[in-house]
């Protein structure tokens, strides 16, 4: 039980100036301030900082975006787009929050199932 709590509270970080090519899979949360070209499958929360750039699809529980995402987002609970966010892709989630100034090009589905996971992103 203690190990599960420790994993859930761990935050991974891709710092500004770091470029990652490949897929990331994690049982805990992650913050991206650098660049990622690949997919993310995260069981916790994803934070994309102002300098963060993702070119690929993201599957997670929650996501907060201040940077840029070019790809589909599939969040089981909440997608939060801050005023500096730029999204080019499809969003599937239960709840969506968009601050004034955020740019979102694509479609959004908010039809989560009873298990808290939205149906697949359109086109997948």
Note whether residue 124 is domain-resident: no
**pTM higher than the cut 0.85:** no
The pLDDT score that the predictor gives to residue 122 is 46
16 lies in some domain: yes
Please indicate, yes or no, if residue 19 is contained in any of the structural domains: yes
Read off the pLDDT of residues 13-60 as tens digits, 9 standing for 90 and up.
999 999 999 999 999 999 999 999 999 999 999 999 999 999 999 999
In this structure, is residue 54 part of a structural domain?
yes
CA distances from 119 to 5, 109, 110 (A): 28, 8, 9
How many domains is the chain built from?
1
Expressed as residue numbers, the domain containing 6 is 2-102
In a domain, 115, yes or no: no
Neighbours of 118 (CB within 10 A): 21
How many residues in total does the chain contain? 124
In this structure, the dihedral spanned by the alpha carbons of residues 88, 93, 99 and 102, taken in order and rounded to 10 degrees, is: 0
């Amino acid at each position: 039980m203690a190990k599960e709590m420790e994993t859930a509270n761990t935050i991974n970080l891709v710092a500004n100036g770091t470029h990652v090519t490949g897929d990331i899979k994690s049982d805990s949360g992650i913050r991206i301030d650098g660049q990622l070209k690949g997919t993310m499958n995260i069981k916790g929360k994803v934070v994309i900082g102002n300098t963060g750039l993702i070119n690929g699809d993201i599957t997670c529980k929650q996501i907060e975006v201040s940077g840029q995402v070019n790809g589909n987002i599939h969040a089981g609970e909440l997608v939060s787009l801050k005023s500096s966010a730029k999204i080019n892709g499809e969003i599937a989630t239960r709840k969506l929050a968009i601050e004034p100034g955020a740019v979102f090009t694509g479609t959004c589905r908010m039809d989560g199932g009873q298990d808290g996971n939205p149906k697949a992103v359109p086109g997948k």
